[in-house]
Amino acid sequence: MTDQAQKEGGNAWQSEAFLKNLKKRKRSERRFRLTGLLAILTALTLLAILLFSIVSKGYTAFVQTFVTLDITFAEEVIDPNGTLDPAELRSANYNKLVQNALREKFPDVKGRRDLRRLFGLVSGDANTKLRKMVENDPELIGKTIPVSLLAGDDVDMVKKGYIDRNLVEDDRRVKDKELAWLDVLEADGDIKLHFNTGFFTNGDSREPEKAGIAGAMVGSFYTLVITMVIAFPIGVMTAIYLEEFAAKNKLTDLIEVNINNLAAVPSIVFGLLGLAIFLNVAHMPRSAPVVGGLTLALMTLPTIIIAARAAIRAVPDSIRQAALGLGASKQQAAFHHILPLSMPGILTGTIIGLSQALGETAPLLMIGMVAFIADIPGGFNDPATVMPVQIFLWADSPERAFVEKTSGAIMVLLGFLILMNAFAIFLRKKFERRW
């Protein structure tokens, strides 16, 4: 182009062809820059959509619908013999009280099918709640008081607006009659949304309104404790050995290559390792946090080692030389001086490794932590599940109400991850030293 411009004579920098070309180049420059910005925006938009879809589906999981009914604690149901015997109080049929209250409220309902639908408005959990009330205060017997009871999951879904009333009745899970009853209750102000404490205190349940993440949270806690207790010391010791003591030889090279490769092994392979070694060879209990913790420890070990090595390498050599110069042994220099100085970095790396372990699902599926477990685990050997696996299990459940539970559990899990990462960032900001 410049050749041509020179042939034409005159100032080549002002020729029409050159200016045109310059304009084109500038346009393409702008386009390129815009493409880059668009790529970032697209990625961030995807993130926003993900978070929005989770939050918009899940925020309702933190409230739950309650139905207030006038419960008559009839003596002939609870304690027909009038003995106030605790065993009798415990075995009484409290559902009957709820059923009576509902019948009283809706005297027109007849027929077994309709009655069953009517009783379905209140969750099976009411039984336990009423029993506890009577056990705490036997004076209640014979009285009639309004009690706020957990509603069934269908009622909950209607109240939260997840069920489309305009749908044809046959396509709808909640039928017209139930909607009519609900409207009556709603008009009387008997249906209310309360904060869902059960979500944080209950174990898993087949009934969505009763299901909570307490069991999964406790399971995750036990699992992470094992992971930390195993992975942290071993990771730190490996890092110290490789950085401070290891001679340059074949063994050291082998260990280094190994660690780098282990960091990139798919997590599910660690699950198979756990299955083959811990369950089939060592016969450890299935579904137990101890096995999950061990498996995750092997998985997070490379992350911790790599972070710890970087932190140890960042300590300047002068510290080492000064310690050795004052007569410290190599180990004293390492353990008394270098390790404390690199601890913030090591801890940051460990927390990030643990937060990965907290979100990990696949290897735990392999070692049987995917079973339905309603009880809250009480120890390292109890069958348990962890939060990501609970999310996976709920995501598989067909009930509509589990969608919001799943999203709610995801929000709690993300909350924990944010806390852990924020703590790691805090540690780094607070203790990081630039040498």
Does 39 interact with another protein (rule: CB under 8 A)? Answer: yes
Rg (CA), the chain: 32
CB closer to another protein out of 158 and 301: 301
Give 180 or 419: the residue with its C-beta nearer to another protein.
419
CB of 24 to another protein, least distance (A): 11
Q: Which of residues 137-196 bind another protein (CB under 8 A)?
A: none
Chain residues 61-100 in contact with another protein, contact rule CB under 8 A: none
Task: Give, for 415, the enclosing helix (H) or strand (E).
Answer: helix 401-431
Of the residues 1, 43, 84, 184, which one makes contact with another protein according to CB under 8 A: 43
Which residues, 359 to 418, sit near another protein by CB under 8 A?
359-362, 365-366, 370, 388-389, 391-392, 395, 403, 406-407, 410, 413-414, 417
Residue 306 binds another protein (CB under 8 A): no
Please report whether residue 17 would count as binding another protein according to CB under 8 A: no
- Of 88 and 399, nearer to another protein (C-beta) is 399
Q: Which of 296, 404, 379 is nearest to 56 (CA)?
A: 404
**367 closest CA partner among 291, 266, 299, 283:** 291
- Residue from 163, 185, 218, 275 touching another protein (CB under 8 A): that is 275
Size of the site for another protein (CB under 8 A): 83
Output 72 or 356, the one with its CB closest to another protein: 356
Residue 168 DSSP label? -
With contacts defined by CB under 8 A, name the span among 41-49, 93-101, 105-113, 132-140 that binds another protein. Answer: 41-49
Taking the complex as a whole, the smallest distance from the CB of residue 123 to another protein amounts, in Å, to 25
Among 115, 179, 214, 272, indicate the residue that binds another protein (CB under 8 A): 272
Q: What does the angle CA 373 – CA 376 – CA 377 come to, to the nearest 5 degrees?
A: 90
Check residue 402 and report its DSSP letter.
H
CA 303 vs. chain centroid, Å, equals: 21
Interface with another protein by CB under 8 A: which range of 32-40, 92-100, 129-137, 187-195? 32-40
Q: What angle do CA 236, 240, 242 make, to 5 degrees?
A: 115
CA angle 117, 122, 127 (to 5 degrees): 120
- Least distance from C-beta 25 to another protein, angstroms? 6
Question: Where would I find the beta strands (DSSP E) of 92-184?
Answer: 144-150
Q: Binding to another protein by residue 322, rule CB under 8 A?
A: no
Interface with another protein (CB under 8 A), residue from 17, 37, 145, 422: 37
Based on CB atoms, which residue is closest to another protein, 30 or 175? 30
Q: Minimal distance in Å, beta carbon 6 to another protein?
A: 16
Figure out which of the listed residues 20, 23, 33, 433 binds another protein, where binding follows CB under 8 A.
Answer: 33
> Could you give the string, one character per residue 228-267, with x where binding to another protein holds by CB under 8 A and - elsewhere?
-----xx--xx-xxx--xx-------xx--xxxxx-xxxx
Pure H helices in 137-249 = 153-159, 176-187, 198-201, 214-240
- Which residues have a Cβ under 8 Å from the Cβ of 218 and sit 6 or more positions away? 376, 377, 384
Nearer to another protein, 345 or 388 (CB): 388
Rounded CA separation 240/368 (Å): 35
For 287: left if phi > 0, alpha if psi spans -120 to 50, otherwise beta; the answer is left
Instruction: With beta carbons less than 8 A apart as the criterion, state whether 298 and 270 touch.
Output: yes
Least spacing, CB of residue 314 vs another protein, in Å: 17
Write the DSSP assignment of 5-35 as a string of letters: HHHT-S-GGG-HHHHHHHHHHHHHHHHHHHH
By beta-carbon proximity to another protein, the closer residue of 212 and 388 is: 388
Check binding of 285 to another protein (CB under 8 A).
Answer: no
Distance from C-alpha of 80 to C-alpha of 383, rounded to nearest angstrom? 40
